[in-house]
Amino acid sequence: FGFAVAAIDRKLAVGEFQAATEMCEQRYSQFCMIWLWNARCRRAYEGLEKLDEAEPFRRVAAGIGHHLFSSGDGKTAETAYVVMDLLEQDLVLEILKQTKTGQSYFSRDGHNYELVLTRHLETGEECSIIFDVDAMFGAYERRLGGKEEGN
């Protein structure tokens, strides 16, 4: 997935919007529910000034974004953003115009959290955002065949 997004980003960066839309259409069935994919496809169609064709991508991305932000505000463990994977975490940071500068993990009341230190892309203001990463930890544990003793 990452290679496909990077290839589209290169096309978008040099204004090759037609090539970017073709790449989007070729792989859409694989990545249709991934926000980053929809956002890039939307940008490609907007670059071609095909706003009607960009609209479905905007709606999917907006729906995924709404789902993420309905979980909390990321200011405390109790109101942490609940994310299923790193792509959703990247989405939150992108929408908030934040870039990651550091991170640490902690557990509280049986839940796993990631504290992400960030810098606002426009103002340079530093802040921290908390993510509930239980779903990500659960996926890793299932791949490893269950929790290790003592964890």
Edge-to-edge, what's the strand order for the sheet holding 98-108? Answer: 81-82, 126-132, 111-120, 98-108
Alpha-carbon distance of 27 to 146, in angstroms, equals 33
So what's the pLDDT on residue 149?
Answer: 41
Q: Give the helix/strand (H/E) hosting 60.
A: helix 51-69
So what's the pLDDT on residue 112?
Answer: 92
So what's the pLDDT on residue 145?
Answer: 55
So what's the pLDDT on residue 9?
Answer: 83
So what's the pLDDT on residue 102?
Answer: 96
Residuewise pLDDT in 10s, the chain (151 residues): 567 778 888 888 899 999 988 887 777 656 555 666 777 888 899 999 999 998 888 787 777 777 778 888 999 999 999 987 777 888 788 888 899 999 999 999 989 999 999 999 899 999 999 999 988 776 445 445 554 444 4
Long-range CB pairs of 10-18 (<8 Å, 24+ gap) are 11/44, 12/40, 12/43, 12/44, 12/47, 15/47, 17/44, 17/45, 17/47, 17/48, 18/48
Structure tokens at 69: 């932000």
CB 132 within 8 A of CB 113: yes
